[in-house]
Structure 1
Amino acid sequence: MQNSEAILATHLLPLIIYFGAIVAITGVMLGGAYLLGQRHHAKAADEPFESGIVAAGDVHIRFSVQFYLLAIFFVIFDMESVFLFAWSVALQEAGWSGFIEALIFISILIAALIYLWAVGALDWRTRRQRNSSP
């Protein structure tokens, strides 16, 4: 039992040292930036700007919920493409069973997209615009 504990300790020691080094380096970088960084309290320093141009209008823009829904849908279907790319790289090793699994995966995603379309989650129009259109 003591032999396995010694082996475990020798294998964990490099990991513990690495973790400690990462924490130390992060602390030095953040502490150095805080201690050596510039501190200026000019009025212009607190104003937002866009590419060096003073902002014209309110900087707090309110986006509709549909924008965030579309962004989430994009991330979900973007991850689908990552999985399919990894699958296509290993297509020869996966064989027919991998191909059938990929078809099931794609069909589930298509079914989810059809459902989102059917419930109107992809429709950007307001309720008034939907009611007034023929």
Structure 2
Amino acid sequence: MNESNPPDAPFWPFIVYGAFILVLMLLIISLSYFLGQRHADRATGQPYESGILETGSARLRFSAQFYLVAMIFVIFDIEVVFIVLWALAFKELGWPGYCSICIFIGLLFAVLIYEWSIGALDFGPDGKKILKAYQKLNLKKTVT
């Protein structure tokens, strides 16, 4: 029986390695503390991202439509993985695999049409409503 780790292996190399890492870690943190700059400017404690100071609260409300579109994106993104995996195993699957992926893509297309018809993908302003309101506003201006 060939074992890769015999029971009589010495344990001291692991202890030396752990001690070396602990000393190195303490040395790096100590040098950083003593050699680093210390200053407290006006903006030191403020949140900072990409060079832009905060302008308002981070607690923004998103509409439920946003989350619906995000879920639809995730679902269709996962289904792309299935299609790619089918493409990788195309030769092994043959005609039955081809027929099944055609059915799968057909179902995806049907779901996409259904979601489009119920308005699940309309997450922006309705252009037709904006155009009608603009035309009404222009009509009122020409009458007066």
Instruction: Give the alignment's TM-score, normalised by structure 2.
Output: 0.54
The 5 A counterparts of 1:116-131 are: 116-125=115-124, 131=129
1:132 and 1:113 mapped to 2: Cα distance? 26
Percent identical pairs in the alignment equals 46
Instruction: Describe the superposition over 1:62-84 as per-residue Cα deviations: whole angstroms up to 9, x where unpaired.
Output: 22222211111111111111000
* 2:50 equivalent to 1:54: no
SS at match of 1:105: helix
Structure 1 residues 66 and 120: CA distance shift in structure 2, 3 A: same
- Given that 1:48 and 1:59 are in contact with CA atoms closer than 8 Å, whether structure 2 keeps it comes out as no
2:103 and 2:51 mapped to 1: Cα distance? 50
Shift of 1:126: 5.3
1:60 and 1:130 mapped to 2: Cα distance? 32
* CA RMSD, 1 decimal: 2.7
Q: Structure 1 regions of 5+ residues with no counterpart?
A: 1-43
Match of 2:114 in 1: 115
Shift of 1:51: 3.3
Structure 1 residues 125 and 53: CA distance shift in structure 2, 3 A: closer
2:84 and 2:129 mapped to 1: Cα distance? 41
1:76 and 1:49 mapped to 2: Cα distance? 34
Match of 1:81 in 2: 80
* 2:75 equivalent to 1:68: no
Q: Whose radius of gyration is greater, 1 or 2?
A: 2
Equivalences, count: 92
1:103 and 1:87 mapped to 2: Cα distance? 11
Q: Structure 2 regions of 5+ residues with no counterpart?
A: 1-43, 133-144
Match of 2:98 in 1: 99
Greater helix share, structure number: 1
Structure 1 residues 84 and 49: CA distance shift in structure 2, 3 A: same
The 5 A counterparts of 1:13-32 are: none
Match of 2:37 in 1: none
